[in-house]
Amino acid sequence: MFNLRKLALLGLLPLALAGCRQDMHDQPRFKPLAQSDFYADLRSARTPVEGTVARGQLHEDTYFYSGKIGSSAGDFMPFPVTEDVLARGRERFNIYCAPCHSRVGDGNGFIPSRGFPRKPPSYHSERLRRAPLGYFFDVITNGFGIMPDYASQIPPRDRWCIIAYIRALQLSQGATMADVPSGQKVPSEAPQFEEPGSGATLPVVAPKSANPQPEEPK
Amino acid sequence: MQIFHRSTNTISRATIYGAVFVVAALFWAAANIQRSPYVTYAGVARPQPVPFSHQHHVAGLGIDCRYCHTSVETSSFAGIPPTKTCMNCHSQIWTNAALLEPVRESYRSGKSLVWTRVNDLPDFVYFNHSIHINKGVGCNTCHGPVDRMPLMYNYASLQMEWCLDCHRAPDKYLRPRDQVFNMRYEPPASDKPVRLDGKDYTDQLALGADLIQKYKVRNPMDITTCSTCHR
């Protein structure tokens, strides 16, 4: 009888330990954006006091952060445009702008067709082809008309990469055969895509059916 | 006088030795319950203040994960979009839908939307998104078919054995970095090769081995030590 009771107690032990388990799971510290019962607005992430300048956020290089010289938009890139910059620009453009402006920038993205009162304009209009680079920076940073601003979603360097890519898109739409570097072939047909792509990535180009495999040297 | 027939001896013997099996069965049951959705909540959709559908926004509208989860490539935390991100579109689209009233209310008043956390590791575990993304672990390897989730649920158990299964042999799961956000990525197969640096792969382990070289993934010994995740 006595033994049985001991056994039963032993059986309860895991339950007690299970209790401890939960304490260790939820410790008195916050994961990012977790709810806090201490502050009235329930936010554990506090907004800094107005006027605070965090380390590394003193924006002395104002052109880089505003796209403006004085009060007019500048028309140069604050850093050299390399292939990496354009590749980054393409990726970011397809994430943040293409849903509305489409991948080629003609303004026929999918989202506006679901209920925006007007479509975004095409980047290939005479007006926007002439617009200085700094103007695009201003539109991304502060929004324009019914277009929301993207300041909190896209850091400044990425905004510049996107702008470089938009300029490349604009040039590509107005290109002539004379712009093709000598020795480079222009593909006569558009690439075949395997599937439309999930929105997360560029569509996969279907491998050519007769895929010449390089022979192993014997 | 004998109440029980002789044959019951076998039964009593069976129950004595059988106890071993009963105990084993209990352990087995406990181990399985521990891994079941009752404990891990895997596959259980949680109620949310707004019935936000990844299926609709990701597969239907083609929005990239990073449009909303902006910090996933650079920080430990993937980031939950602020109300402003919803309003980028919903200030124009479905502006009268009752479904979206909590979003508009939150935007007007500046009060946060309170989403229910779905994937929740215990606080004594350290996890970091950015390293996984940059070394070629796809979102859907861990989060499942997000583009087919009308309501978010967690796909994996998030138990230690699950993390370790991959940390012991990451080559089973890695994919090229530009495919990390692709919810429809399929691992290489002989009829569907995956292309990397101009080479076609038809075998996951061959691809995985080359990706480990390319992305300089440390060896399993280093990423299975306790202090990787318990620090």
Chain segment A181-203, per-residue pLDDT in tens: 887 777 666 666 655 554 445 55
Number of domains in chain A: 1
Q: Which residues of B touch A43 (CB under 8 A)?
A: 112
The structure's pTM equals: 0.89
ipTM given for this complex: 0.84
Distances (CA, A) of B14 to A4, A17, B4, B28, B85: 21, 34, 16, 20, 67
* Cβ neighbours of B138 in A, within 8 Å: none
* A175-204 exposure pattern, b = at least 16 Cβ within 10 A, e = fewer: eeeeeeeeeeeeeeeeeeeeeebbbbbeeb
Whole-number pLDDT of residue A181 = 80
User: Is residue A50's pLDDT more than 90?
Assistant: no
How many CB atoms neighbour CB A86 within 10 A? 15
Is A218 within the bounds of a domain?
no
Among A1-10, A26-35, B68-77, B161-170, the minimum mean pLDDT is found in: A1-10
Residues of B with CB under 8 A from a CB of A: 58-59, 61-67, 70, 77, 79-80, 82, 84-85, 87-89, 91-94, 111-112, 114, 122-124, 147, 178-179, 181-184, 193, 195, 200
pLDDT confidence tier of residue A42, bands split at 50, 70 and 90: confident
pLDDT > 70 fraction of chain B, expressed in percent and rounded: 100
Model confidence pLDDT, tens digit, residues A103-121: 889 888 889 988 899 999 9
What pLDDT, on a 0 to 100 scale, did the predictor assign at position A97?
93
Contact B64 A199 (CB under 8 A): yes
Q: Is residue A89 part of a domain?
A: yes
Please give the mean pLDDT across all residues of chain A: 81
Q: What's the pLDDT score for residue A215?
A: 45
Amino acid A20: pLDDT: 52
Which regions of chain B are under pLDDT 70?
A: 1
Query: Which residue range is the domain that position A85 belongs to?
Result: 80-174
pLDDT at B192: 84
- Range scoring the smallest mean pLDDT among A97-101, A126-130, A201-205: A201-205
CATH number at residue A106: 1.10.760.10
pLDDT at position A34, please? 86
Categorize the per-residue pLDDT at A61 as very low, low, confident or very high, splitting at 50, 70 and 90.
confident
The residue assigned the tokens 């019951």 is B8
CA distance A20 to A214: 62
Predicted local confidence at residue A218, as pLDDT: 39
Share of chain A above pLDDT 70, in %: 76
- Specify which residues A72 forms β-bridges with: A69
pLDDT over 50 at A216, yes or no: no
Domain membership of residue A7 (yes or no) is no
